[in-house]
Structure formats: C-alpha cells, structure tokens
Amino acid sequence: MSRLRTYFLTGFIITAPLVITVYLIWTLIEWVDSWVIPYIPEIYNPDNYLPFHVPGFGLLAAIFLITIVGFLTANIIGKSIVSWGEGLLGRMPLVRNIYNGLKQIFETVLSDQTGSFQEVGLIEYPRKGLWAIVFISTATKGEVDNRLKSVDQDTFSVFLPTTPNPTSGFLLFVPKQDVTILSMSVEDAAKLVISAGLVAAEDHQVQLQALADAEKDQENALQALFTPPEEKSKKGKGRKEKAD
C-alpha cells in the first residue's frame, strides 16, 4: 500500500499540471473561436467542408486580422484614420476614460522598451518586522514622483501581490532604501506567492559560492596529489621555521 500510494502521488504530480495546462489552453482557444467564428463568412469556414470541428481556426483568424490592422495603421493613411477615431472617442466622456486607460496599460505592458516587472524585492509590510514579496514596476513617475521628491523621497512603484492569486494586489510607492532587491526571477517569485511559500526558489548566489568552493577544494586536492615529496618536505620545514 505504501508503494501504491507513492506511485499514485508521483503520477498525480506529473499529470495534474499537464492536464490543467491543456485544459486552460483549450478553454482559451474555444473562447476565442466562439467570439470570432460567427463573424467569419461561411465560405471561409472549414467546418462547412469537413466532417469535424477545427479547433483554433478562430484564434488564427483573430491573429491574422490583428496583424493586418497593425500593418494598415503603420502608414500615414492608417495613422490619420486612427487619430480621427481617437479624436471621436475623446469627445465621449465615459468612453474616453476607459479607452485611454486601457490603451496606456497595453502600451506599457507590451512595449519592448519597458523594464516592468523585471526585478523582485522585499519590503516591510504591513508593519515593521514583517516582510512581503513585491514586483518592482519602475521608478515612480509623474505627479506622484514630483510630490515625493519635494520631501526628498526617491521611490519605486511596486506591485504587492496577494496569495494565492498574484493577479490582484496593491500598488505601493516605496522609498528605494526600503526595498531589498532579490536575485530571484519574476517567475520564481510568482511560484512562491501562488504556493503560499511551499515552492521556494534556490539562492543562486549561495549555489555559485558553493560551486566555487568545491572547485577550489578540487584544485587544492589535485595540486597536493601531484606535488613531489621533496617540495612537500620543503614547505613543511618552511612552516616549522616560521613557527619557531
């Protein structure tokens, strides 16, 4: 029974993440298909010619359409049309706030030049003596930065995730000297948050130091192995003379 229990747990650890990953990907594909396929003309829908459903065709069509839109808006005519459309949205009180906010978020997250969420840190939260993982977004910008600099505060904009759902959390503006930068990756920090501390990343600096010490010990052992006995005796006499 002990062996059967071990085999079951081993199989569960291997299959559960795989099944959940496949399920989430399949759900995403089906969700996109349900939105896109109804707008595709029937003549271009392969489901009308095949005896089975083709999953992912709507996703491919959406990717192709988004790419075409990006190609068309990259020229002068496309930019003029986009500017005219944004100007039209800008005159709508509620719509302009939603559109401008979403546009800024997507531009910040998808920009190739952004360094958002490239570092992980520790801050004392919610009080002194208690520490929490944070994702460092960037140095604080805009009016908040100007107001804080007036009181001599250089701050980071950090995201404090909640456990076990790291997609929700708090935006905090923390003085740079109060943030302890960690060497772990964002992925390792996310695993630590999701697992409530059960899956902890190894300290790479400690591992590198241990490897360096092991290599040094190996070199010393090899050097001692191939050192002639005469040199060993000379070194021993020299140490004895120094001691005297």
Of 117 and 95, the structure prediction assigns the larger pLDDT to 95
State how far the Cα of 56 lies from the Cα of 127, in Å rounded to an integer: 49
Given a cut of 60, whether residue 119 has pLDDT beyond it is: yes
Cβ–Cβ under 8 Å, residues 157 and 139: yes
pTM here? Answer: 0.54
pLDDT at 145: 87
Percent of the chain with pLDDT over 70: 79
Sorted by where each begins, the domain ranges of the chain are 2-110, 119-194
